Structure 1
Amino acid sequence: MLIKERSIITWLLHPDLKQAPENLVIAPVSNPINQSILLHSFIELDKIRKQTPEWGLPELLMPSFGEVMYKSHRSFDNIMPQLFEDFCKREECGILLCRGNVTIVYSFGGNQLHIWHFTELYGKSVFNFYTCNVCDGENIGVGITNTLLSDNLLFSGSLQERQRKLAFIAGFVATYVAVKRYIKVETIVIPRGKFTAIEGTPLEYIEKKKVLNQTGQEVIVMDSIWFRKIINENDIYVRGFFRMQNKKNELGEWYKELIFVDSFVRHGYHRNAKIEDDEVN
């Protein structure tokens, strides 16, 4: 797996840069007014960048993490208003590296979730759209300028399909933050410019076991121990030990008796991935 350099990441994490890199561009539009709208949204992101928020390292979502998000989102949906409020109070923000060469920059604050959506195309980070999202009960309402939503160079499909896509992205980000905060996950820091092995993760969840990070800074891989299956086929020597054994007396009453268990050899073990044992409702 190769994590290529992304101009949007370099620009965000270096607030001292006075100008945006040449490879950081605005997407082509069919309606000229949309270019001004996108430019305004980009300038707002620049203002936030100069305030040096705690973006943290860019976070790469592995398939296992996505599976946990999918299995847990309904549970989080029931308490999303409380979670949304908590994320806004904490001013959660970050940079997500997703499939399809997508980079999502998000920021919670003022009871809103702000999302800037970029894609990598021919070595350039292309700014596609910005949405301002609010939580209304179990649903997240998406705010976007109508002219952007109707621009056929920015979006495809019917109007309803475009709205569903944006709602999915907002829900995706909110669920991601919830899983990261409330479910036990593994984070693997990938140094820049080095091949890093991600050991123990089955190939059905990762195309390759090694990651090459060319972004210019460290990247965090978001994984989940729920997908780690441990198989040990070796003989394991177990030393003798004392333990309290439950027993019944002649009256059928339970009592405990201290016994000694002799040494024995255990012939390996299999531990299923946690998600196979404990489904997230």
Structure 2
Amino acid sequence: MTDFRQRYSFLASPTWIGWFAVCILFMVVCYFLGQWQWDRRDAALDEIGTIQANYDQGPIPYSEARDIFASADEDDEWKSVELVGEYLAQDHLFARNRANSGQVGYEQVVPFREASTGDVVIISRGWLAPGSEDGSLPASNPEPPSGQAEVTVRIKPGEPEIGRDAPEGQLASIELDEIEDQVGYSVMGGAYGEMLSESPQPAEQPRGFARPSVDEGPHLGYSMQWIAFGMLSFVGWGYAARLQARSNDVAYAEEDDGELPAGIPKREVLRRARAERMRQQGRLTDEDAEDAWVDEHMAGR
């Protein structure tokens, strides 16, 4: 133990203590990055659970979902709702920068007045490909059914405001308060609907929405990787300390290398130096004593 403490006494120097503090700091940073990935995984699992619970359930009437459209909860996302009423097609808008199958286009957003209550629900009828050279307008604008229609939608919570401007008649996000400002009348402010079907069905419709993914992503693996990176910093510190101790042993041996025959490899110098130090400390093992006896008798030949 005494030999070990002496060999690694340099670890108490300010330089090595400083590097150890850096390892601790790095480990703390890696822990929080790993926790961030873990939280993202939890959020993904919650979303997957909501999809699995709601997506394939049968539609409910608007009378049961009215409170959801007024103030949506995350657990209500993807529920199917049947509405009867009419589209207010003259007030349609385009939500821009909407991805679909690797392309970026628009969603056609149309207010819908529910017949029994007079509530106006915002419905995204689907995706439209860009048509102009600069992509500033969709290629087409399919008309919704005129007159009374029966529509089945999936509930989507209103999107947050993202602080971006959009051309007139377009939206940077499906932010329901902004839509209300643009159309000039009250709309249900908690959720909107993604169209699933409508009757009567027009000859042309926007492209329907794909089923949401239930892949949780690589967050678990990333979380474990960050923790491993943090632990590896201590492994590297320990390895560097071992190399420094060996270097010190060589330096110690080279101070007394005048007593050794020329041409002895440094590995042998190191072994003999360590044996000499252990002999001085009274901790020479039987194997070391035997090696020392052989060295002593072989040197005289």
> What is the TM-score of this pair, normalised by structure 1?
0.21
If you compute each CA radius of gyration, which structure gives the higher value, 1 or 2? Answer: 2
The structure where helix makes up a greater share of residues is: 2
- Select the structure that is richer in strand: 1
TM-score between the two structures when normalised by the length of structure 2: 0.20
